[in-house]
Chain A
Amino acid sequence: RVTEDPPVNKSQVKKFAVAEGKHAKFRCFVTGKPKPEIIWKKDGVPLEPGRRHLIFEDREGYYTLKVLYCKVQDTGLYVCAASNSLGNTLSAVHLSVKGPAVQFR
């Protein structure tokens, strides 16, 4: 399913950083009735649940994406897109995965 998202103003997107090898947990509170369908995307590509991507609704009702054992390639724009019969909206953040500070040769 392809959905057309409104454009994201990248200069206004909040930036977060995690260290390589750690987990990154994204939490987004979503309201809407009927209950919205949620799609997490990285750089526009929908993320499927998998070995390194956990997608769930946590006990406090936050829609949650967990990227496990972050790699530098996980750096990018992450979007939580919500839609129901009345419309759609999204929130975005930028994640940087920082490699080790000191590179040994």
Chain B
Amino acid sequence: MKLAYWMYAGPAHIGTLRVASSFKNVHAVMHAPLGDDYFNVMRSMLERERDFTPVTASIVDRHVLARGSQEKVANNTNRKDEEQRPDLIVLTPTCTSSILQEDLQNFADRASISSMSDVILADVNYYRVNELQAADRTLEQIIRHYLTKAIGEGTLNRSITDTPSANIIGIFTLGSHNQHDCRELKRLLQGLGILINQIIPEGGSLRDLIDLPRAWSNIIPYREVGLMTANFLEKEFGMPYVSITPVGLLDTAEFIGQIEKYINIWAPVLLQGKVNYESYVINQTKFVSQAAWFSKSIDCQNLTGKEAVVSGDATHASSITKILVKEMGIRVRCSGTYCRHDNEWFNEQVQGLCDEVLVTEDHTEVGDATARIEPSAIFGTQMERHTGKRINIPCGVIPSPVHIQNFPLGYRPFLGYEGTNQIADSVYNSFNPGMEDYLPDVFGGHDTKEVVTKLLSNEKDLEWTTESQLELSKIPGFVRGKIKKNTEMFAKQNNISIITIDVMYAAKEGLSS
């Protein structure tokens, strides 16, 4: 047993439902007790979805405990089949069904005999995988199911398209900013003259899956979901895939470079010549994206050496760390992720970019590290935003988990060249803007109230003189707390009970030497 207040990644069935409900005309039937259909609320609220979420529960109650689900699951499946005629019904196990150990596969098989829809059982172990791993697995399972079936029926189309094309894999429901990222990716590929073959699972139709292998390559924008599918497609059809996330200028350039490489495998034959995207990248970097110019501008100069803590899923945390360090000159004290299963990859990515790496699912560990480090800004999930609020450090929210405000109506991609603009804005706004921070402090500060309350220290045996208090108030807000702490520590170490200006300076000198 684990004492837990909060978790970053949800339970496995959420991942399965996210994938299933993203496809067009796919229905998920959960084998779950009353109240476990909370996924429908999240989709309806966070995504502001206009349609009914295609998820129903086959309710597990006392009756089921006594007799087993027997006809119930099959009946509910058949009923959905008749009512809504989905192409596929995904029978979804939950924590409850994995303890009951009923033969759900058998129910799925039975239901598929009597219904028009295909019925499959999501093959995920509740106690071994989390939401993201389950989503990855389910996506692969569905793709594999339909492609294997097509191979069997001989309907699979293996000829690649005449012009370069790509599949985008891993865009799905309740992925924060996924819709915007998808649009930006489309724009990017369009700019490169690459056709979008298919986008899955979001809005994808199962009938079209047979055309999946026609693309020249696959694009996996987020490594959490899609890699398994990409691996399967590579093994089965020799399709190469790009798993670099195009976040930030450097990675976007690398992403395009990789695509170029894959296109040039076929280009000499099909396009009578190789493609070269170098000039496109330069043009976009210099003029479409403002991020390169921002890095060079004096605004960004003020951010030099400022300290940040990063935490999030593996994709976003590593990308943001890279941007902060390599593109903006910010010092990342700690970079972390809750994707423990991807520990190795994450470590490799952020190696040499940050002082420490923190891989944990426990939000209090992240909070403690943040409080200890006292960075000028945090880039993390909603939880880190709240930590930041508590210890008065601004936070830029990167997915995920997220709240409804991270499903913005306006266009806010993280990926591609527009994404670099959005991230630059978010980073710049998260740090206290340079002049705004600096000027009030020069003139004694407009936040005098805050200074007074901050001085209500718990250390009863330490007393700040009026002069030293005044001096403290002159120190810029974002380092004030730290200086105060350091001075008090110094005073304690040297058995000083009254802190004068002299002590303050002595402390500063003592610590810097």
Do A and B belong to a common assembly? no
